[in-house]
């Protein structure tokens, strides 16, 4: 464990960074390495990566907000997850990494009038991230569940590939010995080595402003002990849900929190004739035949998560749970046209989150689940268990018609792990809530530098986008504001 800053009733710093995930850790490292006095505040604890089993219930209890039980209300409601620990979401996700496309960057640049956002500079930042995180493909054999997905796509002639991960493999081609290069192993140690201080287990409740300038943060520490931090600048990197909630509690309104964008997903469990389940890893292959609207991949398949995938039709599917070693969970994800909101409610600790799927979104989820089931049948699955109420067990192509006719998004277990766009950046103030480099409109010294800034969900895992934007904005801040 790196050295942590002790809890006091009052702190001061030049730049306060709120949040220690992909945006916050990157920002803090660059600022500290430039000689800036940085204090990083993290609401959750420091958890050593090797002390928890990935994707286990223990990890959910210790590193997820509310044990992973958080939801955006709507029809249907969408379950989502947030990391609540040092390193944020990088500690709990699968480490899959993909750059956004040139088409995505152009859509953001033109749609939101983002200045100084050229492709070459952005992808150079991606190069830097990939070196820092050791982004690479698996050096040895893939997991059986990943191979099944690849095999099914290959037999259908559908486009597919292996997604690289930010991993190191100290034992050469032993993929099982890979170590995820999360923020607690990369940018946070860099920040602390350069002089940044890290204060864990402290929640920033609100920022205090004098007209357009923030100067103090009010915090709650362990045991609900109050604390304050005085600063010259503040950069909020608490994630796409907590960042807009904090800004709203601090008096910011306008477009803050009004354009949440996610990648909704539906899941199924596929049972094969042999053991394929790897409880602490996920498949690295994805199917991109219908990209960017629709993609397929593998999910965590811990026994508890297999059981969860079967619960919507438990009466018909419960007997399968005892065969969990032969079962893996897969997902179909869509690029949604719908949007949601994050609203801080006075007196409530957590914000109200809502999301509305469009008719196109709901139809696409059903199409995606049916096509994913077809991939699994082609991969050799003996039975496929879709995750929606009263779903049929799919054992042949003839059963796909029953799946399609019986599917309803309102009856499905829709979820997401990718949350974006609640403080979108750009110079077009009719669509953006922060300027082209993350300064919140209406403030002189309040910045955002996390997934909240992305104008919409990029159609791929957003971590590459988040970190490249964070590098870009941090360098602009160092050159222009200090």
**What is the three-state SS of the chain?**
CCCCCCCCCEEECCEEEECCCHHHHHHHHHHHHCCCCEEEECCCCCCCHHHCCCCCHHHHHHHEHHHHCEEEECCCCEEECCECCCCHHHHCCCCECCCCCHHHHHHHHHHHCCCCCCHHHHHHHHHHHHHHHCEECCCCCCCHHHHHHHHHHHHHCCCEEECCEEEECCCCCCHHHCEECCHHHCHHHHHHHCCCEEECCCEEEEEEEECCEEEEEEEECHHHCEEEEECCEEEECCHHHHHHHHHHHCCCCCCCCCCEEECCEEEEEEECCCCCCCCCCCCCEEECCCCCCEEEEECCCCHHHHHHHHHHHHHHHHHHHHHHHHEEEEEEEECCCCEEEEECCCCCCCCEEEEECCHHHHHHHHHHHHHHHHHHHHCCCCEEEECECCCCCECCHHHHHHHHHHCCHHHECCEECCEECCCCECCCCCCCCECCCCEECCCCCEEECCHHHCCCCCCCCCHHHHHHHHHHHHHHHHHHHC
Which residues are CB-contacts of 239 (< 8 A; sequence separation ≥ 6)?
19, 21, 82, 83, 88, 89, 419, 450, 451, 452
Nearest to 8 by CA among 47, 46, 39: 39
Q: How far apart are CA 228 and CA 224, in angstroms?
A: 13
Name the token pair of 423: 């403080």
Cα-to-chain-centroid distance, residue 98: 13
Q: Tell me how many degrees the CA angle 252-253-256 measures, rounded to the nearest 5.
A: 95
Q: Rounded to whole angstroms, how far apart are CA atoms 16 and 9?
A: 16
Active-site annotation holds for 160 = no
Residues 6 or more apart whose CB falls under 8 angstroms from that of 223 comprise: none
Of the residues 142, 160, 418, 437, only one is catalytic, namely: 418
Distance, in Å, from the CA atom of 12 to the CA atom of 229, rounded to the nearest integer, reads 5
Which of the residues are catalytic?
418
């Amino acid at each position: 464990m790196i050295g942590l800053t002790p809890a006091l009733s009052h702190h001061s710093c030049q730049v306060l960074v709120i949040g220690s995930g992909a945006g916050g850790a990157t920002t803090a490292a660059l600022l500290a390495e430039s000689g800036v006095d940085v204090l990083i505040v993290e609401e959750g604890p420091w958890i050593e990566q090797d002390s928890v089993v990935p994707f286990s219930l223990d990890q959910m209890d210790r590193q997820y907000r509310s044990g992973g039980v958080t939801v955006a209300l709507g029809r249907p409601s969408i379950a989502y997850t947030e990391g609540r620990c040092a390193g944020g979401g990088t500690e709990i996700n699968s480490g899959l990494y993909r750059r956004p496309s040139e088409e995505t960057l152009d859509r953001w640049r033109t749609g939101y009038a983002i200045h100084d956002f050229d492709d070459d500079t952005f992808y150079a930042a991606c190069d830097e991230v990939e070196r820092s995180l050791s982004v690479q493909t698996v050096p040895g054999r893939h997991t059986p569940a990943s191979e099944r997905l690849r095999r099914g796509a290959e037999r259908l002639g559908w486009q597919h590939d292996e997604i690289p991960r930010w991993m190191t493999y100290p034992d050469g081609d032993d993929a099982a010995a890979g170590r995820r290069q999360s923020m607690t192993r990369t940018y946070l140690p860099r920040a602390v080595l350069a002089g940044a201080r890290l204060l864990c287990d402290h929640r920033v409740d609100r920022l205090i402003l004098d007209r357009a300038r923030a100067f103090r943060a009010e915090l709650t520490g362990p045991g609900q002990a109050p604390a304050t931090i005085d600063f010259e600048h503040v950069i909020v990197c608490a994630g796409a849900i907590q960042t807009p909630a904090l800004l709203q509690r601090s008096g910011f309104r306008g477009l803050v929190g009004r354009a949440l964008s996610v990648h909704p997903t539906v899941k199924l469990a596929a049972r094969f004739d042999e053991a394929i389940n790897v409880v602490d890893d996920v498949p690295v292959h994805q199917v991109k035949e219908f990209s960017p609207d629709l993609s397929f991949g593998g999910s965590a398949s811990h026994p508890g998560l297999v059981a969860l995938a079967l619960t919507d039709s438990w009466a018909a599917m419960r007997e399968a749970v005892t065969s969990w070693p032969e079962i893996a969970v897969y997902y179909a994800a869509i690029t949604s046209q719908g949007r949601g909101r994050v609203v801080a409610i006075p007196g409530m600790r957590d914000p109200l989150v809502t999301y509305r799927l469009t008719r196109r979104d709901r139809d696409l989820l059903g199409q995606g689940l049916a096509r994913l089931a077809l991939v699994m049948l082609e991969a050799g699955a003996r039975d496929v268990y879709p995750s929606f109420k009263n779903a049929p067990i799919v054992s042949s192509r003839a059963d796909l018609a029953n799946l399609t006719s019986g599917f309803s998004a309102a009856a499905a277990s829709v979820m997401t792990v990718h949350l974006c766009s609640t403080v979108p950046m750009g110079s077009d103030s009719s669509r953006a809530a922060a300027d082209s480099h993350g300064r919140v409109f209406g403030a002189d010294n309040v910045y955002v530098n996390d997934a909240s800034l992305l104008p919409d969900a990029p159609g791929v895992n957003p971590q590459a986008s988040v970190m490249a934007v964070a590098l870009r904005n941090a360098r602009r801040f160092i050159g222009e504001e200090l």
